[in-house]
Amino acid sequence: ALMLRLRDFDAVSQMMPYFHSELYKTLDVSIVDHIILEKLLGLSDEEAILDYSYDRLDAINRVLDQEYQLAFLLKPITPAVVKAVADAGDRMPRKSTYFYPKLPAGLVFYRLV
């Protein structure tokens, strides 16, 4: 197991798409998505070779069982961060907004006050 730690944010920020906000560029998931997956590994959104697991032990076991070649364990994204990214005019990277518990499909919110 290896732990990656970002040492030079400015260098990474310059490698990110210019149109994203500074907040977006600081997210772990953005760095993995744009820098590691796209730039270093050459993977695109269209390639179906990626799988996502929301259970860290499941991801680790799949690597140990050689079902996966590698796994990235990232800090969870909070609703406040999602809102801040949206307020900055950005969209969250793919598969980065998994929240639990899930609301039943079709549930509608209605403001009572």
What 3-state class would DSSP assign to 1? coil
Q: For the segment 61-96, what is each residue's pLDDT rounded down to a tens digit?
A: 999 999 999 899 988 888 899 999 999 999 988 777
Q: Name the residue among 83, 8, 7, 74 with its Cα closest to residue 37.
A: 74
Segment 11-37 mean pLDDT: 90
Q: What is the pTM of this model?
A: 0.75
Element (H, E) at 53: none
Q: Is 80 exceeded by the pLDDT of residue 44?
A: no
User: CA distances (Å), 20 to each of 10, 30, 84, 87, in order?
Assistant: 14, 10, 13, 12
Q: What is the mean pLDDT of the chain?
A: 84
Confidence of residue 109 (pLDDT cuts 50, 70, 90): low
> What are the boundaries of each domain within the chain?
1-113
Quote the pLDDT of residue 103.
65
DSSP string, 26-45: H-HHHIIIIIIIIIIT---T
